[in-house]
Amino acid sequence: MEHLQEIIEDFLCEVMEIKSSGMEQFQLVWRGNFIVDKKKAISYIKEKAASLNLLSIFTRDGEEIRIAFVPERKVGKSKKWINVLLLVITFFTTLAAGAFWQGVNPIYPISNLLKGIPFSIAIMLILGGHELGHYFAAKKNNVEATLPYFIPAPHLLGTFGAVIMMKSPIKDKNSLVEIGAAGPIVGFILSTAALLIGLSLSRLVPFQEGGLILGDSLLTNLLTKAYFSSLPKDSEILLHPIAFAGWIGYFVTAINLLPIGQLDGGHIAYALFEKKYRFIAYITFIALLEAGLIWSGWIFWGLLILIIVRFRHPPPLDNISELTLRNQLIGYISFVIFIITFVPNPFQLV
């Protein structure tokens, strides 16, 4: 251990003035200030630490920079057959859901499942694209991640969505933004494509009481008016299954972009507004509960966030490097997407 400390201190002395060092919570820790360009110093320290199979953790401690070193954990291989199995099962559950929305029995005859193909393919492309956006952004930033796991569900959508698992720590704030924003941006693009295609295939039908009306976001309202400029009072739009999948895609995108905890929006908000992040998260949570006065489902989502997601966001390994202008713009664009896709009252019975 002493020999390792000497090696670390030797290369740290080349880029920083050391004020103190020691062992803190099973971490080797040094404090001081850089004597060379910060960006070059951080890059140099990361490279040297990696050669020793160590992770370097950068934080600020008052006026000083705190650098801790911990052993780098080896990442085990994922079992890809699980991804494939869940993909296949979810394909069939979304087929059944799509067939149900087409007004046919999805179980008998079995050929009825074919009517669910448009919805199934569209929703799986949107959800899968969202998670693959995260996956490839993680790879770009040297963060180990699994392929998407689809989650089948025996309900009206046929799925609870899809997820990927991060298997190594996120390196810095730029990585936080790129990984956090990639999924919603890809999902948004695919959802928009689905809505444009689906609305062109949708049609007007006589209004019927006792049905379910989907609420509008700013963008769905705009797109709907572009296709159906005049809507008679006694008519309603019967969405094509592809358009319905696009609407669901927007709904999922907006929820993921809530700036709380480890949601995609939480990653972005922390990177953009680190010191104000906790305040933003609490305000968002309160606003979500207030939105429950419009649609009670938001109270459910708020409780789910409180129990599972929570408000705290762990810092990346390098918490002192600044965001690039490019990633600041990506972060702000992501929150514009949140604003234009959020639906205050998603489901209404009439």
CA neighbor of 33 nearest in space, from 16, 8, 9, 47: 16
Could you tell me the pLDDT band of residue 1, with boundaries at 50, 70 and 90? low
What pTM value is reported for the model?
A: 0.92
- pLDDT tens readout for residues 290-310: 999 999 999 999 998 888 888
pLDDT > 90 fraction of the chain, expressed in percent and rounded: 77
Could you tell me the pLDDT band of residue 216, with boundaries at 50, 70 and 90? very high
Residue 343 confidence (pLDDT) above 80: yes
User: Domains of the chain (ranges plus CATH)?
Assistant: 2-71 (3.30.1360), 80-349 (no CATH)
What is the DSSP track for 112-164?
GGGGGHHHHHHHHHHHHHHHHHHHHHHHHTT--BPPPEEEE-SSSSSEEEEE-
pLDDT score, position 306: 87
Residue 281 confidence (pLDDT) above 80: yes
pLDDT score, position 136: 97
Could you tell me the pLDDT band of residue 350, with boundaries at 50, 70 and 90? low
pLDDT score, position 202: 92
Average pLDDT value for the chain: 92
